[in-house]
């Protein structure tokens, strides 16, 4: 696909955090969008501002069972899946089902329509990596039976299924490995480091840093993430996987200090035990994204955190 003007696009998980921003971007590009979500972790509120757009259709459905879109479509962007540890540890079986049966259903829709299929995979397929930074050629270091495996291995299975449909059925596919997106519309109970720290700082609670805080994360502003997904959607024939993230790496302890400073909070930092299989380092090699998609993140982390803090402060005050 070279352009999205007039394209008919299905976004599974479209009422989630990244999905809602993606639906919004696709509409501004001139696409008609079917947002399919069962609201298990997403919410109609995240896309309420799109409800009156003539090109937007909200479909409540569990994509693990079916995707009730009968129209022929040009692209299927598969984002449906609990993405934070809080959610996928609460719903381990549902997470595995959407990564397996949900991915098959999304691929079947793409195959039937002759559509471009894009899988929103994750940096978690690298596990606790032994290679740093992480290149797409790295196969990962994942505990297949640990509590996080329902997400890590689920996404690895989804990638394998995507490539099987490409090889066996000729589906035009692309795989994006997304790294630590953040920004407005994240769920306050998300549990990931940015919303957790901001929520704690704005409420004057201790910022809970896991372990000694030397583990690293690479934070990518949500609109930058969405731009990468849109570029991959347009790039027919590019299968990937392609890392979509920010290669500006920070330690969790540094992030906590930055959040305290940005919010003017008096919160102190409190250390808690590390979760099982928590990755020690995380930073994408973005060479492929730059070469194949002409993509690179543009939002400075401090500015993105400031905007996210302002949004969260308004939500908490509301």
Q: Which domains does the chain have, with CATH numbers?
A: 8-181+220-247+281-298 (3.40.50.720)
Taking only the tens place, the pLDDT of each residue in 286-299 is: 999 999 999 999 99
Nearest 10 degrees: Cα torsion 229, 84, 67, 14: -50
pLDDT of residue 270: 95
Burial class (CB in 10 A: 0-12, 13-18, 19+), 101: middle
pLDDT of residue 79: 98
HEC letters along the chain = CCCCCCCEEEEECCCCHHHHHHHHHHHHCCCEEEEEECCCCCCHHHHHHHCCCCCEEEEECCCCCCCCCCCCCCEEEECCCCCCHHHHHHCHHHHHHHHHHHHHHHHHHHHHHCCEEEEEEEHHHHECCCCCCECCCCCCECCCCCCCHHHHHHHHHHHHHHHHHHHHHCCCEEEEEECCEECCCCCCCCCCHHHHHHHHHHCCCCEEEECCCCCEEECEEHHHHHHHHHHHHHCCCCCCCEEECCCCEEEHHHHHHHHHHHHCCCCCEEEECCCCCCCCCCCECCHHHHHHHCCCCCCCHHHHHHHHHHHHHHHHHC
pLDDT at 172 over 90: yes
Residues with active-site annotation: 151
Taking only the tens place, the pLDDT of each residue in 253-285 is: 999 999 999 999 999 999 999 988 889 999 999
Q: Are 1 and 236 in contact (CB under 8 A)?
A: yes
Q: How far apart are CA 64 and CA 80, in angstroms?
A: 9
pLDDT at 1 over 70: no
Q: What pTM was computed for the model?
A: 0.97
Taking only the tens place, the pLDDT of each residue in 20-38 is: 999 999 999 999 999 999 9
| CA 316 to chain CA mean position, Å | 24
Q: How confident is the model at residue 191 (pLDDT cuts 50, 70, 90)?
A: confident
Residue with tokens 């930055």: 258
């Amino acid at each position: 696909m070279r352009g999205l003007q007039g394209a008919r696009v299905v976004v599974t998980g479209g009422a989630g955090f990244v999905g809602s921003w993606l639906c919004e971007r696709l509409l501004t590009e001139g696409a008609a969008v079917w947002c399919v979500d069962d609201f298990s972790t997403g919410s109609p509120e995240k896309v309420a501002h799109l409800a009156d757009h003539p090109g937007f259709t909200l479909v409540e459905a569990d994509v693990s069972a079916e995707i009730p879109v009968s129209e022929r479509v040009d692209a299927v962007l598969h984002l449906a899946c609990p993405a934070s540890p809080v959610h996928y540890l609460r719903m381990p079986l549902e997470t595995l089902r959407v990564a397996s049966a949900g991915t098959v259903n999304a691929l079947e829709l793409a195959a039937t329509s002759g559509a471009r299929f894009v899988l929103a995979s994750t940096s978690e397929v690298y596990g606790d990596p032994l290679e740093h930074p992480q290149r797409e050629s790295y196969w990962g270091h994942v505990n297949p039976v640990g509590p996080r495996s329902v997400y890590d291995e689920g996404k690895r299975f989804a990638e394998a299924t995507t490539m099987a449909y490409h090889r066996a059925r000729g589906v035009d596919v692309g795989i994006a490995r997304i790294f630590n997106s953040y920004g407005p519309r994240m769920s306050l109970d998300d549990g990931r480091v940015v919303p957790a720290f901001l929520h704690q700082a704005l409420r004057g609670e201790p910022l809970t840093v896991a372990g000694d805080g030397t583990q690293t994360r690479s934070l990518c502003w949500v609109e930058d993430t969405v731009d990468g997904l849109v570029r991959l959607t347009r790039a027919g024939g590019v299968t990937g996987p392609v890392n979509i993230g920010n290669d500006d790496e920070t330690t969790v302890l540094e992030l906590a200090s930055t959040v305290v400073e940005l919010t003017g909070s008096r919160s102190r930092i409190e250390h808690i035990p590390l979760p099982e299989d928590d990755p020690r380092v995380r930073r994408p090699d973005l060479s492929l994204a730059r070469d194949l998609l002409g993509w690179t993140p543009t939002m400075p982390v401090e500015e993105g955190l400031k905007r996210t803090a302002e949004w969260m402060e308004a939500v908490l005050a509301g």
